[in-house]
Structure 1
Amino acid sequence: MSVRVRVLGPVGVVGPGGPATLVGARQRTLLALLALNAGTVVPCARLVDALWGDDPPRTAVRTLHSHVSRVRQALEACGLPGVLLTRDPGYLLGLPRDQVDAHRFEDAVREARACLDGGSPDRAAALLDEGLAWWRGDALADGAPDGWGRAEADRLTEIRLAATEDLWDARLHLDRHAEAVPELERLAAAHPTRERLVGLLMLALFHCGRHVDALDRYRRLSAHLADEFGVDPGSRVRELHAAILRGDLAVPDRTVATQLPARVGHFAGRVDELGALSRWLAEPSPETQVMVVRGSAGIGKTALVVRWAHEVAARFPDGIVFVDLRGHDPETALTPGEVLAHVLDALGLPRDRLPASAEQRTAVYRSLIHGRRTLVVLDNAGTADHVLPLVPNSANSRVLVTSRHRLAAVSAYHVVRHVELDALGPDDAHTLLARVLGRARVAAEPEATARLAELCGRIPIALRVAAARLSGRPRQPMAELVADLSDEGRLDALSVDGDTHSVRTVFASAYEVLSDPAARMFRLLGLHPSGNVSSWLAAAVTGDTHGRGRRGIDELAAAHLLSEVAVGRYRFHDLMRLYAVERAERDEEGAARDDAVGRLLDWYLAVASAANRVLDPARDRVVATPRQPPRELPFGTDPDEVLAFLDGERDNLVPVAGFALRHGHHRTVCQLAYLTSGYFESRGYADSRIAIHRLGLEAARRGADPVVEGLMHSGLGVALIAARRYEDALGELREALRLMAAAGDQRGVGHAYNNLAAALGELGRFDEAIVACEQAHAVHVANAHTLGAILALNNLGHLYARVGQPEQSLHHLRRGLRLARDANDRRLEAAIQHGIGETHRSTGTLDPALEAFAEALALRRGAGNRHYEARTLVEIGTTLIMAGRRAEAGKPLEEALTIAGELGDEHLADRARAELARLG
């Protein structure tokens, strides 16, 4: 059937009697928006918003009715009577979707993408050619859409551009590279920050033998993104750039990078729910980008979405992001800013480019997600604030949410689809038990199987726990377990959402057959505030060796009371942790629980102290005082080993500090904040660093200790500098200075001045920064604190270099270098040599610069500090290029790139790649 309504260009409609006469932009907009929702009632309120925006006239509704009447007359006059219908609460255009050009276009694009993903680029190209041919100009070109109407026009424009990228993707798969270059050049000039578009152009140029031009295109993209958004290109185009540098395009250009957890074993049922998710993905209206899967604890929300996401991963070639928001517990839930930090990290944003505020992070997220085809899975959302910042601004990406709540506020801003999960049906529950226990066993006891499923409430987690118990006793009749579970007098009902009486009974059945050490471990680990625990903590909290602790935690995992999420790391289901806490309250004396809380906090304190000695031994103003230190620590003296272990604990650090504060362990909170600073200095994560220092500040105030309060203000100020919130940092550091001066803490005063200088320098207030730095130096010299004096001289050297006074810069750096050598502080000696190299290079004296960088490199290699080793290698490569020694520059840059890759430092890796690109 021929198209009757056109909106992809000037708006028009043709009936049997010829074209309709539409008078005025609002009549054309009205018809277009009704056509884009053909077959669906559009409420009057939405039409008013689309025609007049946020400030409609008082007569808007009456004027709308008048426009509808005139459009209806125009449709009747062209031979289309009775198609514009009044339906409460608005109007409906009663035409099939295939009579609207936009719907035909979107259908062709969807089918083409399926062909492209399925390895049929020729068919995809034909469909995309056909779909793009419907366009005759801008969407609603002679209309005047406002509000959501303008957003709809923008959406269509975005789909058109993405479809154009798909078309050239398909053509490149058909080896039409020479044909692609001029058109992709034109498109990239019009859209210089679209990463996929530039990536396609780079591919085409490479295959035409224009390798240097391809690298130059990457350089221009990188510059545009840095200038406009302060971000680096995403991982896919970076990988392509690296492949071109190697002259090797073996890196596949449609790789799916995914953070999804492994699928849950023994999945059963949920056919209707899986179908609903797939229908959501295939919906003709891409504005429905949000799906919420809702249900009570233990009902299988995460298992469902993880399974489905694995099945459709190929539909999201730019990857899948998975974040557990921990929204079931307000005490441990991630903040919206922390959620955005996790997502941006997953999308490849270097940690040192993370904006300070949630609003800025949202803007960067939308710039990164724009044009990509990405699935963002938000597990355990607690509030709409977790979700709203992450709704994509383009039609290609989707957000899939699990929650115990309806998140109604999300629906106030976006069209949201919902899937409600209930208990499994009897047949599906039977299937799940059969998959764990074997068909023969359940077939032998059909009545007991059915009764067991009902006693578990047909809730997946309860079924798995019960089946795990039975699988460990293959000769036990199922009827015996059923009899045990039917003894309802033993336990009270568990107070959580849904019917969980039987769930609690199932948990008890698994718990009560544990060995005594494992049962005690289960109870005590439940006290952990986030439920994400290591085998090392499990040993410490029970006072055992790590070997015995591993045996206990393995027993808990075998009983499905804990899940192993990584080697040596385990997680409670939140419902299971609730049960563990209840058992601790029932089976442990108050003194024993308090002792376990102390052991838990002492373990974190001992770990933080040991890590601090490795990562930042000069940070010695706070000494850890664990009353019950653990028998063993999880790492030695290798900085990489320390950082890797703390990476696994990162999401626990703030909840544990909050837990310590609630239990009155004020000194422990402050010690944790201070001793984890070296980790945050190495890794970033400014949000967590700020949060733990705020908790430390509150603890110091409750403990009425002004010296420690000054330390916490100082630490918070440094954390804010790391987050590039320099004005906020000044306030904290000035308060630190006041408190430390009042307490006579001269060392603290000197450090506060040093940190003030850093914040002022970043604000471009160099004269004030230099004064503060000189004050820091004077205080440290008077106090005989050599390390502080060296730091001040190093900072003065950097500040004078930034204001164009290299002689003064080198004067202070050389003074600091002599002191660092006398103090045998290799770390500071290396930092100062690195600074000397930068200052020499800024004056064009390249040989002395290279000598200083070589000294810094040797010192950093000797200390095993690979991050700073790589930074110095990059500077050596850059300086060699400036000196015209290009043949020597590749080796240090390649070494830096290798180290950055091993450390996962994308920003440093990109710097190395950029310099390598200059070598051609």
Structure 2
Amino acid sequence: MGVADRLEFRLLGPVEVWRGPERLAISSRHQRSVLAALALCPGRVVSVSALVDAVWEEDSPPSARRQVIKLVSRLRGTLGDAITTRSGDYMLNAEPDQVDVGVFDSSVAGARQLSVTDPEAAARAAREALRLWRGPALSGVTPGLAAQATRLEERRLSALEDGFDWELATGGHAALVAELTILVAEHPLRERLVGQLMLALHRSGRTTEALEVYRRTHERLADDLALAPGAELQQLHVAILRNDATPTAPISPPAPAPRSATRTSVAVPRQLPCAVAGFTGRASQLKELTGLLDRNDTVVISAINGTAGVGKTALAVHWSHQVADRFSDGQLYVNLRGFDPSGQPVQPADAIRGFLDALGVPAQRIPAGLAEQAALYRSQLADRRILVVLDNARDTDQVRPLLPGSAQCLTVITSRDPLGGLIVSAGARAVPLDLMTTAEAYDLLASRLGPERLAVEPHAVSDLIELCAHLPLALTIVAARVTLAPTLSLAELAKQLRDVRDRLRALDIGDASVDLSAVFSWSYRTLSAAAARMFRLLSLHPGPVISVSAAASLVGTERDQAHAALSELTRAQLLTEHSAGRFAYHDLLRAYSAGKAREDEDEQTRHAAMHRMLDHYLHTAHAATLLLNPPNDRLSLVESQPGACVDELADDEQAWQWFTAERQVFPAAIERAADAGFDTHAWQLAWSVASFCIRAGHWTQMVTSQLVAIAAAERAGEPHGQAWSLRELGRVYIRLGRYADARASLCRALDLDERLGDLVGQARSYNTLGIVSYAQGANPEALEQGKAAYALFHAAGHRAGQADALNAIGWMQTQLGQHAEALRYCAQALELHRAVGSRHGEADTWDSLGCAHHNLGEHQRAVVCYHNALELYQKLGARHPQADTLIRLGETYQDAGDFHAAHRSWQQALPILDDLHHPDADVLRARLAERTPAP
């Protein structure tokens, strides 16, 4: 392509495309938006969905994809083959230097590199690059590209500031004063520009004016944001006050810390939700919260309280983002769901466990009891400066265990409850949040609709504010409605709200059970029939987050159809995509959804939807637990209902991932099943998730679920279910160290098993009772219980159980010094495990054989056994057993005198334990340090 035919794309101003000296005609705003989206990614594929977002943002019509294809076709008529298709998406065939954005970025990067040796030349290069700007970036396009325009403007300002630094460094201060004065007027809170103006004035002999600039900035920050100037601006101010003729350079952007300086051993959580877009008002509350930062002699707690929808969370999150940089060790956040319509507030133990996970505490180190967990949590925060945000708290009892004990931390709590007990006992500072003032409500609408739109219909704006009762949530939804229907006048919108039936009830803000149904209905009415039905039936899900498969089961459709409905709800702002493929909505929308379900879906329909959803969880969980524990006992499940969507999991890794993603749903689903009369589902689901909960350390949660399961099985008249649930309760009591409770539960299960004549159940109960005895130091009793388990498994013809029991007997014999007998039992176990195809059991038995041979002094045979176990564990991906076997293999090598081999085995085990965050890693690391063999 010759120079005359070369296309140039200009985005730094009005969007234009030139071919040589000729500007090509692109008259449509939508065409310019598509062109700009492609030109921002030259030489890269841009999806049709991304182009839809560029044109319509979140408010795209149903025909958006077709319209985008037509827009691209028209652009091709102008640009020729500059736009090509790749797998149904599009790409602009252009080099970065054909787009002024690319030329600008390249020029600025070159200037920054040049500044190291020649700041004067760098300043000239920056000025030259800035001449590419012909006005505000991406002018003449649709609002869908507003975020990209903002990012480009930030790059322009950053380049300007860099250039000013270089000019100030070469003595150009006097010539910059006028330009900087104008820019500071345009960006009064941009501290780097303010610092540059102060420095230019001071060096020009105008120190009084420099100090006045600082004073105005200080007042503006305090009034608008309830903040003080940053440390660098304050330091510059002090230097000028001292009449330093050459204070340090103006404020520069923070440089990233070098890798060597980062803290790799301590997790730094960043859990704050996304910053609140368009936040307005609440100046006095922001100022009060910021004032708490100066109190460093005591534990600081702020309790933001107010009614539903008043903006407690918005205030807490907005302020937290403003001050996040003052908490160098991170920010913790949890939604305690204290007033969730499901009636399932987050338990303090679950919240603390989430915080400890975020702080990098290995699961194995987390104690079982709430008091011990709270103590560990406070210890983790003792020497760290962390902001803790406890959102939507139920009451004082729920939050008290979550409070740090360190004066370096600050806790912000939001709740509908005044939390009076916390104010009295912990000295919490109450920050009551009332309805918005008229001025604040006006600013909120203006931030979303633009002041120009409001100025056209001032009376209608006042009506809307009053009709929404000054409630931020209602005002925000009104603004969204206006955005969704740009041709609708504000007066007509106010008329619709005024005329809606039972408006006062619709806008009642006094209780969580009362929703803003009139406001929500505006978005609801725009939904397709499929999305509306999805919205109604979502209220049956216990929450807090629902997957596509669970949602598909609720409505009885395919996953693709369900995902389309969920995406439509997300676009309508009736749902949020919490993470990829997982959706959630807040409590007011849930209440509205439940009301619509009661109105529009009969009891039989709701019952069938609940049945399908519970089938999804039960059948998927049962299949997943069999993948984690083959060959496990199996429940006799009733075939799932038509329309229930059961996830197909390929292996134990996918099973584990599924359990982890759904963990928070299980206890609520089990309780919901029991409350709705699905008692068999309740106990069978509790059993199906039990093995995962034990492995993952969710023991307190499991106790609650198994207690619900036992009662459900009793109501259903299913004693087998009672026994199975009692055994699982006994297993988890063992993990919690509650051995008396474990023994009592297992004895109840054994009694039921005996009355039912369930030999396998009796065997399982005896096997687990053996673990209780072993844990309490009663090794002979544990051995006898293992033998009783074997006899019962043998009588029942349960070969997999026989193999487990034989290996357990062999292991107990090694603990009692009966190593020769252990070899005989383990050999039988190995043969049976191979016969039933249990590779996990086979690997475990090879490990037991290795231990027995080691204790008999038969080191070479022990090494062979351990290697056999390792080979199987590696194939199975069983990482923790690998590490255990490698440690025992190292001990065998050490006793045999081969210290180098021992060291190699332990070195192989260490990274596995480190990856698992297992506490044994530190023990092994110390062993390696003490016993490093001589070269």
Other-structure match for 1:473: 485
Task: State how far apart, in whole Å, the 1-side matches of 2:926 and 2:410 are.
Answer: 32
Say yes or no: does 1:775 pair with 2:788: yes
Per the alignment, in what secondary structure is the counterpart of residue 544 of structure 1? coil
1:249 & 1:809 partners in 2: Cα distance? 53
C-alpha distance 406-857 of structure 1, shift in aligned 2 (>3 A) = same
Secondary structure of the residue aligned to 2:516 is: helix
Residue 305 of structure 1 and its aligned partner are, at CA, apart by: 1.9
Q: CA deviation at 1:735?
A: 0.7
How far apart are residue 724 of structure 1 and its match?
2.6
Kindly indicate whether residue 833 of structure 2 is the aligned counterpart of residue 829 of structure 1. no
Counterpart position of 1:569: 582
1:317 aligns to 2:331 (yes or no): no
Q: In the alignment, does 2:598 pair up with 1:585?
A: yes
Q: Name the counterpart of 1:713.
A: 726
Bigger Cα displacement from structure 2, 720-729 vs 741-750: 720-729
Partner of 1:678: 691
What is the deviation of 1:871?
4.8
Structure 2 CA distance, aligned partners of 1:255 and 1:323?
A: 17
Which residue type is aligned with residue 547 of structure 1? D
Residues 795-830 of structure 1 show CA distances to partners (whole Å, capped at 9, x for unaligned) of 223323334443343333232112111222101111
Deviations 1:446-475 (A, max 9, x none): 443443333333333333333333323333
Give the equivalent residue in structure 2 for 1:347.
359
The partner residue of 2:679 within 661, 666, 673 is 666
**Number of aligned residues:** 681
Q: Percent identity?
A: 34
- Tell whether 2:458 aligns with 1:433: no
CA distance in 2, matches of 1:877, 1:436: 66
From 656, 660, 668, the counterpart of 1:643? 656
1:608 aligns with 2:621: yes
Residue type matched to 1:535 in 2? Answer: V
Asked if 1:746 is matched to 2:759, the reply is yes
Give distance in 1, aligned partners of 2:437 and 2:898.
Answer: 73
The correspondence of residues 121-520 of structure 1 with structure 2, limited to 5 A, is: 251=263, 256-287=268-299, 289-329=300-340, 331-489=343-501, 493-494=505-506, 497-498=509-510, 503-520=516-533
- Between the aligned partners of 1:875 and 1:438, the Cα distance in structure 2 is 70
Note if contact 2:630-2:838 (Cα within 8 Å) is conserved in structure 1.
no
Kept after mapping to 1: 8 A contact 2:388/2:411: yes
Deviation at 1:356, TM superposition (A): 2.7
CA distance in 1, matches of 2:742, 2:508: 43
Find the aligned partners of 1:775 and 1:499 in 2 and give their Cα distance.
59
> Offset at 1:583?
0.9
Task: Give the 3-state SS of the residue equivalent to 1:377 in structure 2.
Answer: strand
Query: Which range moves more in the overlay, 332-341 or 558-567?
Result: 332-341
Shift of residue 842, structure 1, vs aligned partner: 5.6
> Quick one: distance in 2 between partners of 1:766 and 1:350?
30
Contact 1:710 1:735 (C-alpha < 8 Å) held by counterparts: yes
Counterpart of 2:700?
Answer: 687
Moved more, 276-285 or 310-319: 310-319
Partner residue, 2:811 = 798
Q: Once the 2 structures are TM-superposed, how far is the Cα of residue 587 of structure 1 from its aligned partner?
A: 1.3
* Distance (whole Å) between structure 2 residues aligned to residue 848 and residue 462 of structure 1: 75
Distance 1:433 1:883, change over 3 A: farther
Deviation at 1:694, TM superposition (A): 0.9
**Residues 442 and 874 from structure 1, CA distance in 2 versus in 1: closer, same or farther, beyond 3 angstroms?**
farther
Q: Give the conservation status (yes or no) of the 8 Å contact 2:269–2:358.
A: no
Alpha carbon RMSD of aligned pairs, Å?
3.3
- Please state how far the C-alpha of 1:634 moved relative to its aligned partner: 4.2
Residues 884-918 of structure 1: per-residue CA shift (max 9 Å, x gap): 7676678776765665666x544466566556656
Cα distance in structure 2, aligned partners of 1:884 and 1:449? 87
Taking the aligned partners of 1:518 and 1:855, their CA distance within structure 2 comes to 55
Residue 642 of structure 1 aligns to a residue whose secondary structure is: helix
Q: What is the rounded CA distance, in whole Å, between the counterparts of 1:588 and 1:780 in structure 2?
A: 50
TM-superposition CA deviations, 1:15-66 (whole Å, max 9, x none): xxxxxxxxxxxxxxxxxxxxxxxxxxxxxxxxxxxxxxxxxxxxxxxxxxxx
* Shift in alpha-carbon separation, 1:820–1:315, aligned structure 2, 3 A: same
Asked if structure 1 preserves the Cα contact closer than 8 Å seen for 2:266 and 2:360, the reply is no
Contact 1:257 1:317 in 2 (8 A): no
Shift in Å at residue 506 of structure 1?
1.0
Is the Cα–Cα contact under 8 Å of residues 333 and 390 in structure 2 kept in the other structure?
yes
CA distance in 2, matches of 1:274, 1:881: 64
Tell me the TM-score normalized by structure 2.
Answer: 0.67
Q: Is the partner of 2:542 in helix, strand or coil?
A: coil
Structure 1 residues 327, 814: CA separation in 2 closer, same or farther (over 3 Å shift)? Answer: same
Give, in angstroms, the shift of residue 852 of structure 1.
2.6
- The 1:871–1:493 alpha-carbon spacing in structure 2 relative to 1, beyond 3 Å, is farther
Do the aligned residues in 1 keep the contact of 2:469 with 2:507 (CA within 8 Å)? no
Paired amino acid for 2:683: C
- Residues 423 and 459 in structure 1, CA contact (< 8 A), matched pair in contact too: yes
Q: For residues 472 and 846 of structure 1, what CA distance do their matches in structure 2 show?
A: 76
Residues 462 and 889 of structure 1, relative CA distance in 2, 3 Å threshold: farther
Counterpart of 1:291, as a letter, is S
Structure 1 881/316 Cα, relative in aligned 2: closer, same or farther at 3 Å? farther
SS of corresponding position for 1:489: coil
Q: Is the 8 A contact 2:468 2:507 kept in 1?
A: no
Contact 1:602 1:630 in 2 (8 A): no
Q: Which amino acid aligns with 1:816?
A: A
User: Does the aligned pair in 1 maintain the 2:556–2:642 contact within 8 Å?
Assistant: no
- SS at 2:389's partner residue? strand
Q: Is the CA contact (8 Å cut-off) linking 2:786 and 2:805 kept in structure 1?
A: yes
Q: Could you tell me which amino acid in structure 2 is paired with residue 774 of structure 1? A: K
Q: Secondary structure at the match of 1:321?
A: strand
Q: Are 2:554 and 2:613, in contact at CA under 8 Å, matched by a contact in 1?
A: yes
State the distance in 1 between where 2:360 and 2:628 align.
25
Contact preservation (8 Å) 2:516, 2:588: no
Partner secondary structure for residue 713 of structure 2 = helix
Matched, 1:729 2:749: no
Query: Contact 1:465–1:561 at 8 Å: present in 2 too?
Result: no
Unaligned runs of at least 5 residues, structure 2: 1-226, 237-257
- 1:817 maps to a residue whose letter is L
- Secondary structure class of the residue paired with 2:501: helix
> 1:865-904, aligned counterparts within 5 Å?
865-869=878-882, 871-872=884-885
How has the CA–CA distance of structure 1 residues 295 and 804 changed in structure 2, closer, same or farther, with 3 Å as cutoff? farther
State whether residues 544 and 664 of structure 2, in contact with CA within 8 Å, keep that contact through their aligned partners in structure 1.
no
- Mapped to 2, the partners of 1:544 and 1:709 lie a distance apart of 34
What letter corresponds to residue 623 of structure 2 in structure 1?
A
Q: How far off is 1:594 after superposition?
A: 1.4
> Is the radius of gyration larger for structure 1 or structure 2?
2
Cα distance in 1 between the residues matched to 2:843 and 2:231: 54
Secondary structure of 2:279's counterpart equals: coil
Counterpart-to-counterpart distance in 1, 2:896 and 2:466: 78
